[in-house]
Amino acid sequence: MTNSQHNSGRSAFTIPTSDVMTQLPTQFFASLVQNVNREINAGHDVINLGQGNPDTPTPPHIVKTLQDSAENPLYHKYSPFSGYAFLKEAIAKRYKEDYDVDLDPDTEVAILFGGKTGLVQLPQVLLNPGDVCLVPDPGYPDYWSGVALAKAHMHFMPLLESNAFLPDYEAISAEDKAKAKLMYLNYPNNPTSATAPLSFYEDTVEFAVQNQIVVASDFAYGAIGYDGHRPVSFLQAPGAKEVGIEFYTLSKTYNMAGWRVGFALGNADIISKINLLQDHIYVSLFGGIQSAAAAALTSSQQCVTDLVARYESRRNAFYDALEHIGWQAAKPGGSFFSWLPVPEGFTSAAFADLLLREAKVAVAPGIGFGTHGEGYVRAGLLSDETRLREAVERIGKLNLFK
């Protein structure tokens, strides 16, 4: 009997898809990557300023620690579910030295599979279907993913240049304040590159207490500040640990994006909830990676100082070139991104398409980060100074700026 005869009369087998999967936001930047790759595959020399992937390698002493730790039989077994104590102690020590913030390694630190994992998991441990989360607009799109997975709703907080790209809490309606249970913040900010003063976080704690809203501070670019200014941690604000947590990652500080090491820090109740969810999903990070991460945090921080200096030098070279072609934009105070206004007559997507097509320079259109990202493009300082200047020179030849 043939397969067709054997299967005759049967209905076609279908694979079900959950409602949650169909409600996930579209991965906007997947199309950007495809467009860039198409130009590269066609033989063009594309200068890619649209990415957020560090372009220099992990410092050698961190790599060497992993190499040595890989030979330790202890790390060939399952790691403790919530991670090794020495890594939690290392992050607590780093926060004390850098921000004068006291953290209990046992109860106020959770080890994550990269910061993104924690940001997406948080709504799942705090929100019920129909709850409201306050989300920055423009902002990191994976906040949307976490809210969607929790079947919750978003209220967007506009980040406007007129308010230094900080949310205006007074502009949030009484109804949304009453419904909201969680709020995301991110400074130094992706994509706007804005930084936040301590006074803003003090206001945030007061707002959170008044409205019973948990604060989630995404501090992914916390080490990258310019002109002699270290970015402020949310946890430095009095009362911060009572109302929220902060997410920190080694991806940007130590060029360890592929290592997937992050932390949630702060409120012990929230930390315990994150650990409980992870107990059902993971068995922590490979011990050798945890050992290398601890070395990164506890050894000399000269590699971080050098990295920030490199980005600041790139920033200065990039903005000197922008000024030369007449593209006016404010210099970033932190992160490794630039937030640049598009010329009159263009949408952010149309302008990005033009730059890729005509100048072979890739940037990220602001609309991909939210409605209020329209009118801007994001460019990363993740190429050397020569390539950054060349990118601006190519754009200048299009004669779009006066």
Provide the H-helix boundaries in 23-157: 28-41, 60-69, 85-99, 115-126, 142-149
Q: Where among 241, 268, 298 does a domain terminate?
A: 298
- Number of domains within the chain: 2
Does the structure show a pLDDT above 90 at 321? yes
Same domain, yes or no, for 249 and 314? no
What is the C-alpha to C-alpha distance for residues 100 and 78, in angstroms, rounded to an integer? Answer: 33
pLDDT at 2: 57
DSSP 330-350: PPPSBSSEEEEEPPTT--HHH
Q: Are residues 126 and 220 in the same domain?
A: yes
Is 209 in the same domain as 269? yes
Decide: 90 and 242 in contact? Cβ < 8 Å. no
209 and 313 housed in the same domain: no
Task: For residue 333, give its domain range.
Answer: 19-57+303-396
Whether residues 290 and 316 fall in one domain: no
Query: What is the percent of the chain where pLDDT is above 70?
Result: 98
Q: What is the per-residue pLDDT across 225-272, written as a single tens digit (0 to 9) for each?
A: 999 999 999 999 999 999 999 999 999 999 999 999 999 999 999 999
* Distant-in-sequence, close-in-space partners of 16: CB < 8 Å, separation ≥ 6: none
Q: Is the pLDDT of residue 29 over 80?
A: no
Assess if residue 388 is contained within a domain: yes
- Look at residue 72 and tell me if it is in a domain: no
**Is residue 64 one of the residues assigned to a domain?**
no
Q: Decide if 13 is inside a domain.
A: no
- In a 3-state reduction of DSSP, which class is residue 195? coil
Region 27-32 average pLDDT: 77
Q: Quick check: 3 pLDDT over 60?
A: no
Q: Is 294 found in the same domain as 240? A: yes
Residue 82 and residue 52 share a domain:
no
Is residue 99 included in any domain, yes or no?
yes
Tokens of 104: 């209990």
pLDDT of residue 24: 85
Q: State the CATH number of the domain containing residue 47.
A: 3.90.1150.10
Instruction: Please write the tens of the pLDDT for every residue from 331-389.
Output: 999 999 999 999 999 999 999 999 999 999 999 999 999 999 999 999 999 999 999 99
Residues 96, 197 share a domain:
yes
Residues 48 and 102 in one domain: no
Place 275 in a pLDDT band, splitting at 50, 70 and 90.
very high
pLDDT at 365: 96
Any domain includes 402 = no
The reported pLDDT for the residue numbered 8 is 60
For residue 129, the domain's CATH number is 3.40.640.10
Which residue, 298, 325, 342, sits at the end of a domain? 298
Render pLDDT for 356-369 as a digit per residue (tens, 0 to 9): 999 999 999 999 99
Mean pLDDT, the chain, whole residue set: 94
What count of Cα atoms within 13 Å lies in the side-chain half-sphere of residue 90?
23
Looking at the domain assignment, is residue 2 inside a domain?
no
pLDDT digits (tens, 9 = 90+) for 118-133: 999 999 999 999 999 9
Q: Does 366 map to a domain? A: yes
pLDDT at 285 over 70: yes
Under a CB-based contact definition with an 8 Å cutoff, are residues 267 and 243 in contact?
yes
- For residues 121 and 258, state if they share a domain: yes
Please indicate, yes or no, whether residues 204 and 275 belong to a single structural domain of this protein. Answer: yes
pLDDT at 393 over 90: yes
Asked if 323 and 275 sit in the same domain, the reply is no
In this prediction, residue 52 carries a pLDDT of: 87
Query: Which of 298, 331, 350 is a domain's end point?
Result: 298
